[in-house]
A and B are shown apart, each in its own frame.
Chain A
Amino acid sequence: MDEDKQLVKRTLKGEKDAFEMILRKYQQPLFNYVGRMVGEREMALDFTQDIFLKAYSFLPTYRDDFKFSTWLFKIASNYLIDYWRRKKVQTLSYDQPLDNGNDGLAMQLPCDKPSVVRRLEMAELRDRIEGALKKLPCQLRELFVWRHVNGLSYEEMAEIKGLPVGTVKNRVFQAKEMLRRLLEEKS
C-alpha cells in the first residue's frame, strides 16, 4: 500500500500527525493550483485551507482504489466550480467549442514574424505566461495548471474530470495554443 493510503488509514484512526504529513506533502501543489485559479493570494490561502478541511471531513468516504492526489484535486476542483457558480462566472462545458468554433488548434502554421518566445528572456517569458494565464477560460486554465504546474498525467486529469483522455489532451493543447496566441498579441 502506498504512503498516502497508509497516512489516510492512520488519520482515520485518530492520528492527527498523519494528516499533518498529508498536509505538508500537498499544500504546495494545491496552493499552486488554487492560487492560479483565483488570482488573489489571500483568497487562495483561505480556499486552500477550506479544501484541506473538506478533505479531512470527507476522509471516511475515501476509497483506496483512487489515487489520493486525484481524490484531493477532485475536491479542490468541485470547490472552485461552486465558487464560480456563486460568483456567476460563466463556465464552459468541456465539449463546447471555444471562441465561436475557433478553438485555437485550427490555425495554420507557420508565421514569418519572429516569435515572442525567441525575443524574450526566460524569466520575462514566465511573467508574461502568468499574466496571459489569467485571461484563459477557467476550464482551460485548470487543465493547463494541472498539466504544467502540478505535472498531472492526462489519465489523472481525465479521471478527476470524468472525461475521455482524448478530450483532456485536446483541451490542454487548446490552452497552450491560446496562451501562445495571447503572448503574441500582447507583444
Chain B
Amino acid sequence: MSCLSPERIYSYLDGILPAEEARQAEDHLSSCAGCRTALEERRMLALAMESLPFLELPPDFSARVIAALSPGRVTLRSWFAALAFWLSSVIVTLGLFVLITGERGGGFLLSLIRAAWAGLKNASLLFARFATLVILAGRAIRYIVIFLVKGVILVTSLVSPGIQAAAIFLSLITLIGLWFLVGRGRLVGERS
C-alpha cells in the first residue's frame, strides 16, 4: 500500500474510516516510519486545535442583550390583571371621592351616568359622520377606477397590437429588474 494521504490520515484520526480501510491504514503505519510521524504530528496539532481558549465575554453581556430586546408579548393573563387593577382603582377612587366630599352615592352615580350618556351620544354622532365620509371616499374611488378602465379601453382601441405587446414586455422587464434590486437588499434572517 502506498503512503497515506493527509485526507486519509485525518479520517483515521477522526475515526471515520470504514473498518477495512482503517485496518489497511494500520498495517501500513506499522511498517512506514514517515506516515507514523505524519500521523503523530497531526494528532498533536489536533490536540492543540481542540484546546483553543474561549474568547472572554464581558460579564454583563447577557444583560445588555436582554435590555436591547423589544418589549415582550403581553399575555392574556397580564391583560386581565391590568383590567382588574384598573377597575379596582376606579372603585377605590369613587369611594374616596364620596367619603371626602360627603356627596350622596346615589346622586353622584346618577350624574356620572348622565355624563357618560351625553358622551356616548356625541361619540355616536362623530362615528356617523366618519361613516358618511368613508362612503363618499368609496364612491370617489369607484369613479376613478371606472375612468381608468375606460381610458385603458380607449388607448388599446387606438394602439396596434404589436405596440401593445412591446409595452407589456417592457413593463415586465422593468418589474423583474425592480424585483431583483429589491431582492438583493433582503435581510439575512429571511433566508434562515
Contact check, A109 vs B3: say whether CB atoms are below 8 A apart.
yes
Is the C-beta of A81 less than 8 angstroms from some C-beta in chain B?
Answer: yes
A133, closest chain B residue (CB)? B52
- Stretch with Cβ within 8 A of A (4 or more), from B19-27, B54-62, B123-131: B54-62
Contact check, A81 vs B188: say whether CB atoms are below 8 A apart.
yes
Contact check, B75 vs A126: say whether CB atoms are below 8 A apart.
no
Given A23-B62, A109-B6, also A71-B192 (CB < 8 A): yes
Is the C-beta of B107 less than 8 angstroms from some C-beta in chain A?
Answer: no
Contact check, A126 vs B53: say whether CB atoms are below 8 A apart.
yes
Is the C-beta of B114 less than 8 angstroms from some C-beta in chain A?
Answer: no
- Stretch with Cβ within 8 A of A (4 or more), from B37-45, B135-143, B148-156: B37-45
Interface string of A115-145 (1 = CB under 8 A from B): 1011000100110011000000000000010
A20, closest chain B residue (CB)? B66
| Closest CB in chain A relative to B53 CB, distance in Å | 7
| Closest CB in chain A relative to B85 CB, distance in Å | 18
Contact check, B58 vs A45: say whether CB atoms are below 8 A apart.
yes
| Closest CB in chain B relative to A15 CB, distance in Å | 8
Interface range on chain A: under 10, 10 to 19, 20 to 34, or 35 or more? 35 or more
Contact check, A148 vs B52: say whether CB atoms are below 8 A apart.
yes
Out of B38, B53, B54, name the residue touching A110 (CB < 8 Å): B38
Q: Determine the distance from Cα of A179 to Cα of B191 in the docked complex, in whole angstroms.
A: 31
Is the C-beta of A107 less than 8 angstroms from some C-beta in chain B?
Answer: yes
Is the C-beta of B121 less than 8 angstroms from some C-beta in chain A?
Answer: no
Q: Which of A130-187 contact B (CB under 8 A)?
A: 130, 144, 148-149, 154, 169-170, 172-173, 176-177, 179-180, 183
| Closest CB in chain A relative to B17 CB, distance in Å | 11
| Closest CB in chain B relative to A145 CB, distance in Å | 9
B70, closest chain A residue (CB)? A57
Is the C-beta of A54 less than 8 angstroms from some C-beta in chain B?
Answer: yes
| Closest CB in chain B relative to A80 CB, distance in Å | 9
Out of A79, A81, A82, A110, name the residue touching B34 (CB < 8 Å): A110
Q: What are 23 A-B residue pairs whose CB atoms fall within 8 Å in the complex? A: A12-B73, A13-B75, A14-B73, A15-B72, A16-B69, A19-B69, A23-B65, A23-B66, A24-B62, A27-B62, A53-B65, A53-B69, A78-B189, A81-B188, A109-B6, A109-B35, A115-B41, A130-B52, A169-B16, A173-B7, A176-B42, A177-B6, A179-B49
Is the C-beta of A36 less than 8 angstroms from some C-beta in chain B?
Answer: yes
Contact check, A110 vs B37: say whether CB atoms are below 8 A apart.
yes
A residues near B (Cβ < 8 Å) are 12-16, 19-20, 23-24, 27-28, 31-32, 35-36, 41, 44-45, 48-49, 52-54, 56-58, 71, 74-75, 78-79, 81-82, 104-105, 107-110, 115, 117-118, 122, 125-126, 129-130, 144, 148-149, 154, 169-170, 172-173, 176-177, 179-180, 183
Q: Quick one: which of B4, B11, B57 has the most chain A CB within 10 A?
A: B57
B57, closest chain A residue (CB)? A31
Contact check, B54 vs A32: say whether CB atoms are below 8 A apart.
yes
B58, closest chain A residue (CB)? A45
Q: Determine the distance from Cα of A170 to Cα of B6 in the docked complex, in whole angstroms.
A: 11
Contact check, A78 vs B3: say whether CB atoms are below 8 A apart.
no
Interface string of B81-112 (1 = CB under 8 A from A): 00000000000000000000000000000000
| Closest CB in chain A relative to B83 CB, distance in Å | 17
Q: Determine the distance from Cα of A75 to Cα of B44 in the docked complex, in whole angstroms.
A: 33
Contacts of B47 in A (CB 8 A): 122
